[in-house]
């Protein structure tokens, strides 16, 4: 915002309240009410305003208090923001960022717990980013704002309270990350485990436990759902010969399904075991805490799936029982 006067932020409680999750803290005092705009509770209204402003040449950052509320504005995201460049023959760009928390939090039930990565990842014209740590958040957000196309930036509410180490390079004002490039968080030889957002942390913890059993896991942080870094995924699978995908979203037509299809199409003859998806349960999110835990992947689920992929006897017996 300091470097480009065309960038502005709008959304519910982004200004006076400093953001529902304090992501926009201090921006109103620094840039003023003309560039940090509090809106009424009308997602369809302010999302449409943002798309129009982007078509005019500004660079809006539209915050949804949760992406579940973005369904009120989904026509603007898909039919206006995503398709206008194509429908105008490339004459109109829509440089807008839609950002906010996505996926399950804690105790907010079915209407506030959905993962929209697969929803928006299917749409030509959108770019869909899914940061995990502080490096991802900083580098991908700057890249998203500078991008000439509409970007859906899916954060995670539970990650707002976590701290991550960062290098001096990440703090450099010029630091950005390329859109569409995954990151290998941990190298391994026995199994490829692909995850995004909060599930990357679960994948890394599971990999630590599996290492104690002699299973070497390569963990890939997608960073980007669309475009999807198929090259990095397939290169890893050709090395490890096994694939697990991990996501909070529902299994049918999910991100993991697309990754598995890509690997079967491009690297099938390198596989030594069936591919497997670890997903959220195929049900609306329960409210009760004990049921909620059963509805989203846990570290033990990852460990059991990894043992199956590596043909460890105890889990093969369970799988065929």
Query: Across residues 258-274, what is the average pLDDT?
Result: 98
Residue 66 has pLDDT above 60, yes or no: yes
Q: How far apart are CA 103 and CA 289, in angstroms?
A: 16
Q: Is 225 exposed, middle or buried (0-12, 13-18, 19+ CB in 10 A)?
A: buried
Residue with tokens 């391994």: 188
If we measure between CA atoms, which residue out of 96, 114, 14 comes closest to residue 48? 96
Residue with tokens 């400093």: 18
pLDDT at 312: 74
* Residue 121 contacts residue 153 (beta carbons within 8 Å): no
253 annotated active-site: no
What is 208-257 written as a DSSP string? HHHHHTT--EEEEE--EEES--HHHHHHHHHHHS-EEEE-SS-STT-HHH
Domain ranges of the chain: 7-171, 183-310
Q: How far apart are CA 285 and CA 288, in angstroms?
A: 9
Q: How far apart are CA 241 and CA 263, in angstroms?
A: 10
In the predicted model, what is the mean pLDDT of the chain? 96
If we measure between CA atoms, which residue out of 140, 58, 123 comes closest to residue 94? 58
CATH code that applies to domain 7-171? 3.40.50.970
pLDDT at 177: 98
Phi, psi of 246 (to 5 degrees): -135, 125
Q: How far apart are CA 215 and CA 200, in angstroms?
A: 18
Tell me the chain's radius of gyration from C-alpha atoms: 20
Of residues 13, 16, 76, 112, which has the active-site annotation?
112
At 142-199, the pLDDT tens digits run 999 999 999 999 999 999 999 999 999 999 999 999 999 999 999 999 999 999 999 9
43 annotated active-site: yes
Q: Is 66 exposed, middle or buried (0-12, 13-18, 19+ CB in 10 A)?
A: buried
Of residues 12, 13, 16, 43, which has the active-site annotation?
43
Tell me if domain 7-171 and domain 183-310 are identical in fold.
Answer: yes
pLDDT at 313: 59
Token representation of residue 152: 């859906």
Crossing angle for the helix pair 299-309 and 313-320, nearest 10 degrees?
100
Q: Which pTM value belongs to this model? A: 0.95
The CATH class of 183-310 is alpha beta
At 80-104, the pLDDT tens digits run 999 999 999 999 999 999 999 999 9
Residue 319 has pLDDT above 60, yes or no: no
Query: Across residues 59-63, what is the average pLDDT?
Result: 98
Residue 314 has pLDDT above 90, yes or no: no
């Amino acid at each position: 915002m300091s470097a480009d006067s065309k960038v502005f932020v709008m959304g519910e409680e982004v200004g006076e309240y400093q953001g529902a999750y304090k992501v926009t803290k201090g921006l109103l005092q620094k840039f003023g009410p003309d560039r940090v705009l509090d809106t009424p509770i009308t997602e369809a209204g302010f999302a449409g305003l943002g798309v129009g402003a982007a078509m005019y040449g500004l660079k809006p950052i539209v915050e949804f208090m949760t992406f579940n509320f973005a369904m009120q504005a989904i026509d603007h995201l898909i039919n206006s923001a995503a398709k206008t460049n194509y429908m105008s023959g490339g004459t109109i760009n829509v440089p807008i960022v839609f950002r906010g928390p996505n996926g399950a939090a804690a105790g907010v039930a079915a209407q506030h717990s959905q993962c929209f990565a697969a929803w928006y990842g299917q749409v030509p014209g959108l770019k869909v980013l899914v940061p995990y740590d502080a490096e991802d958040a900083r580098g991908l957000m700057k890249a998203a704002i500078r991008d000439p196309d509409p970007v859906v930036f899916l954060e995670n509410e539970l990650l707002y309270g976590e701290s991550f180490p960062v290098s001096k390079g990440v703090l450099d004002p010029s630091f950005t990350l390329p859109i569409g490039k995954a990151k290998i968080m941990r190298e391994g030889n026995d199994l490829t485990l692909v995850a995004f957002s909060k599930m990357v942390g679960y994948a890394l913890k599971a990999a630590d436990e599996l290492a104690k059993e002699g299973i070497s896991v390569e963990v890939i942080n997608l960073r980007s759902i669309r475009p999807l870094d198929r090259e990095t995924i397939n290169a890893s699978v050709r090395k490890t010969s096994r694939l697990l995908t991990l996501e909070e979203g529902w299994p049918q037509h999910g991100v993991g399904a697309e990754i598995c299809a890509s690997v079967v199409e491009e690297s099938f003859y390198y596989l030594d075991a069936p591919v497997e998806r670890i997903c959220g349960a195929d049900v609306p999110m329960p409210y009760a805490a004990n049921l909620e835990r059963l509805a989203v992947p846990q570290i033990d689920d990852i460990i059991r799936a990894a043992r199956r992929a590596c043909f460890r006897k105890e889990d093969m017996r369970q799988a065929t029982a």
